[in-house]
Amino acid sequence: MTEQEAKALLIKYEKNECTPAERTLVEGWYIQAFDTKELPEGKVNFAAIETEMWSNINASGIQPEQKTIKLWPRISIATAAAMTFLVLGLGIYFFNARYSNHQFKIASENDIAPGRNKATLTLEDGKTILLSGAQKSVIIDANKLSYNDGTEIISIPRTAALVSTPRGGTYQVTLSDGTKVWLNAESTLKFPSSFAGEEQRKVTLKGEAYFEVAKNKKQPFVVSTDKQEVQVLGTHFNINSYPDEVSTKTTLLEGSVRVNQTILTPGHEAVLTNGIIKVNKVNPNEAIDWKNGEFVCNNEPLNSIMRKISRWYDVEVVYSHPELKNKTFSGSLSRYDHVSGVLNALEQAGTIKFKLEGRQIQVL
């Protein structure tokens, strides 16, 4: 591709005249331009860039004609740097013109910020402590409670406590045995201040959490939800057990766990639906996308995606037509964007529109 051809393609994109394949290429340039900070030195070989880009797109299995809508392709770092130079060199104006008119069309004055560190700690006697949003983690000890930077919260020992994140909140908890737990939005973890003298290290979860369990062969770690029990000795796993989800999902990243009577190995997920467990081979990193600051979609129905958005941005979602819930998307979105950025990215990816009024998202 020559520089002149690249310019022509950008102009074509600005006029909304690109084919689905051309749009995929250009939007790959756009996204990588803002993800990459360094520019390549010397003259850019546009023909080589085009060949590598299409090679990466084909390898990723993108088929614009399919019903599943791809948000963007994943390309190599080298290609990303070249694309950055290409977009900036040819004039990011085209993208700015297009996105300045549309990027905040959904919401400008009433845009909603993403969730943040926010949680409450409830002690056994009913006392509630609002945890600091400037901190990200609370450390549980039999003699005191403190933040990860050592700041003490309370020095009176308690036998049990409960950490809850609201909609639009997330927090990390380090238990007395050294186990680390990351809580997603609208989740609750109940635990004792000490596991000393107990046969098991048992906690209770409602919502979603990622666990890095401290190893202790003599004292198994048990996570109880309203539908299942997960038993481990020391491992990394994620549990999604929201009341509004049809299934409870337990995804194993490292080690071994037993879900009810089913043993999981790394890279597998136990899906519990109506009392029946089905084990699937999965990419476990997709299950902890929220912990890594992303919404990762893989042929995921819009209804499922919007439930995540609803919890993270604390919004209500309504559909103008029920069939819209079944549209599927693949790709990833940043959980650090304002809600308008996420919604506009979904709009750009397919034939769907959103309207934001207050804290309600209308799917049109």
Given 256, 287, 318, the domain boundary residue is: 287
111 vs 59: which has the higher pLDDT: 111
What is the residue type of 90?
L
Tell whether 237 and 120 lie within a shared domain: yes
pLDDT recorded at residue 39? 41
Distance CA 256, CA 237 (A): 9
201 vs 4: which has the higher pLDDT: 201
Tell whether 268 and 146 lie within a shared domain: yes
Q: How many CA atoms lie within 13 A of 269 on its CB side?
A: 18
Best CA proximity match to 44, nearest among 86, 98, 101, 1: 86
With respect to residue 107, please indicate whether it lies within any of the assigned structural domains: no
Confidence of residue 93 (pLDDT cuts 50, 70, 90): very low
Best CA proximity match to 28, nearest among 66, 60, 67, 68: 60
pLDDT recorded at residue 125? 82
Of 6-15, 123-132, 204-213, 238-247, the poorest mean pLDDT is in 6-15
Q: How many CA atoms lie within 13 A of 360 on its CB side?
A: 6
pLDDT recorded at residue 9? 75
Tell whether 165 and 250 lie within a shared domain: yes
End-to-end distance of the chain based on CA atoms, in angstroms? 38
Tell whether 253 and 131 lie within a shared domain: yes
With respect to residue 359, please indicate whether it lies within any of the assigned structural domains: yes
- DSSP states along 237-282: EEEEE-TTSSSEEEEEEES-EEETTEEE-TTEEEEEETTEEEEEE-
Tell whether 124 and 153 lie within a shared domain: yes
Task: Please state the length of the chain.
Answer: 364
pLDDT recorded at residue 12? 74
The segment with the largest mean pLDDT, out of 73-82, 149-158, 191-200, is 191-200
Tell whether 201 and 127 lie within a shared domain: yes
Q: Please state, in angstroms and as integers, the Cα–Cα distance from residue 148 to each residue in 130, 135, 321, following that order.
A: 15, 7, 47
Q: Which residues contact 315 (CB under 8 A, 6 or more apart)?
A: 112, 309, 339, 356, 359, 360, 361
Given 270, 287, 304, the domain boundary residue is: 287
- pLDDT per residue as tens digits for the range 42-78: 444 545 545 555 554 444 444 443 344 456 443 333 4
32 vs 306: which has the higher pLDDT: 306
Distance CA 249, CA 287 (A): 9
pLDDT recorded at residue 186? 98
pLDDT recorded at residue 102? 44
Given 250, 268, 287, the domain boundary residue is: 287
Q: Give the domain extent around 230.
A: 116-287
Question: Structure tokens of 145?
Answer: 């409670």
Of 16-25, 238-247, 261-270, 291-300, the poorest mean pLDDT is in 16-25
The stretch 194-208 carries a mean pLDDT of 95
With respect to residue 47, please indicate whether it lies within any of the assigned structural domains: yes
The stretch 157-169 carries a mean pLDDT of 86
With respect to residue 121, please indicate whether it lies within any of the assigned structural domains: yes
Distance CA 164, CA 166 (A): 7
Best CA proximity match to 49, nearest among 90, 97, 98: 90
With respect to residue 163, please indicate whether it lies within any of the assigned structural domains: yes
pLDDT at 184 over 60: yes
Helix (H) or strand (E) holding 212: strand 201-212
- pLDDT per residue as tens digits for the range 220-264: 999 999 999 999 989 999 999 999 999 999 999 999 999 999 999
Confidence of residue 92 (pLDDT cuts 50, 70, 90): very low
Confidence of residue 21 (pLDDT cuts 50, 70, 90): low
pLDDT recorded at residue 229? 96
Tell whether 125 and 73 lie within a shared domain: no
With respect to residue 110, please indicate whether it lies within any of the assigned structural domains: no
51 vs 353: which has the higher pLDDT: 353
Q: Is the dihedral of CA 208, 213, 216, 217 positive or negative?
A: positive
Tell whether 59 and 126 lie within a shared domain: no
Q: Which CATH number do you get for residue 335?
A: 3.55.50.30
Tell whether 277 and 129 lie within a shared domain: yes
Tell whether 93 and 199 lie within a shared domain: no
With respect to residue 144, please indicate whether it lies within any of the assigned structural domains: yes
With respect to residue 108, please indicate whether it lies within any of the assigned structural domains: no
Query: Percent of the chain beyond pLDDT 70?
Result: 71
Average pLDDT value for the chain = 80
pLDDT at 2 over 90: no
Tell whether 94 and 138 lie within a shared domain: no
Tell whether 198 and 311 lie within a shared domain: no
Q: How many domains does the chain have?
A: 3
Q: Mapping DSSP to helix (H, G, I), strand (E, B) and coil, where does residue 357 land?
A: strand
